[in-house]
Amino acid sequence: MQQKPSRVLVVTHPLRQDVAELAEKIAAALREAGVAARILSGEVDSLCRPDALMVADEDSSASADIVLALGGDGTVLRSAKMAAESDVPLLGVNFGKVGFLAEAETGELETVVSRLLEGDYTVEERTTLAVAAVGADGERTSSWAFNDIAVEKAEPARMLEVFIEVDGTRISRYGCDGVLCATPTGSTAHAMSAGGPVVWPDVDALLVVPMNAHALFAKPMVVHSSSEIRIGVESVGTAGALIADGKRIAELTAGSTVVIRRSQRPVKLVRMSERSFASRLVSKLSLPVDGWRHGRM
């Protein structure tokens, strides 16, 4: 059991009018129960404002106790950094297609609000990533990600030449479409599409997944969460891009290096279900658990 929140920030999908209308009803129910509630569009710019987490009540303005994200995984991702930086829990309700990061579905909203008001939930910490890039000109870029950091080619017709080091040891060098570093939470996102393994969220690890690499050794790797992953761009005349949770944050030219580590700011996800990750995996991905041979003699 947790303490009943006194201030809730409701983040909505920026383009879904139906979600915005439902958010108004949720905020009204929270206010009726004595909880200060504010609604914020899920646009990146609004979430990056210093005052984004401020929730006004009758007496003052203070930071929210919990962030309630209404939308798909994109809305949850856009809300995650803000929640992590302010060290408050994040609860996602899925209005999208898969909603791996969401704890509840649309039809469960009434129950979600009721349990939230009763403090009937738990909080689970999830690993996140910190990235620091240094360009060939010495320009520095830093960022954060919940799911993954990618070094990708910026030109579709060209390969990106890179090398990879783990904890100071060179592992490989190859031409590729890019290299992805993911958290266990992000293993079911871009990393899985790129051929990486599915990793249970409580595993203390990070993933390194080459994308369409032209090399004898280009296997996905699972490394300890304390490892430092260094990716160097060696392509001459072919630019790369640094991408954090799907958002492009820097251009990478020959001589650029990217260092990825576990961030010291985890995401605290609200949990209301006792369903296992394996069960969630099967239902979210509609896995054919009987296999194609089921029923055959």
Domains of the chain: 7-126+266-285 (3.40.50.10330), 129-262 (2.60.200.30)
What pLDDT, on the 0 to 100 scale, is given for residue 55?
Answer: 66
Most confident residue range from 7-16, 46-55, 58-67, 114-123: 114-123
Cα 227 from Cα 11, distance rounded (Å) = 34
The catalytic residues are: 73
Q: With 90 as the cut, is the pLDDT of residue 17 above it?
A: no
- The 10s digit of each residue's pLDDT in 21-66 is 888 888 888 998 999 988 887 666 666 666 666 665 544 445 888 9
For 30, 56, 79, 83, 100, the CA distances from 114, given in Å and listed in that order, are: 9, 22, 22, 21, 22
Mean of the per-residue pLDDT values of the chain: 88
More confident residue, 133 or 94: 133
Half-sphere exposure (Cβ direction) of 157: Cα atoms closer than 13 Å: 1
- The 10s digit of each residue's pLDDT in 273-296 is 888 889 888 988 888 888 777 766
- The 10s digit of each residue's pLDDT in 166-209 is 999 999 999 999 999 999 999 999 999 999 999 999 999 999 99
Best CA proximity match to 8, nearest among 33, 41, 36: 36
Best CA proximity match to 130, nearest among 143, 140, 139, 146: 143
> Confidence class of residue 71 from pLDDT cuts 50, 70 and 90?
confident
pTM metric for this prediction: 0.88
What number is the average pLDDT over the span 101-121?
85
Pair 91, 68: CB distance under 8 Å: yes
More confident residue, 113 or 153: 153
> Confidence class of residue 16 from pLDDT cuts 50, 70 and 90?
confident
Q: With 80 as the cut, is the pLDDT of residue 11 above it?
A: yes
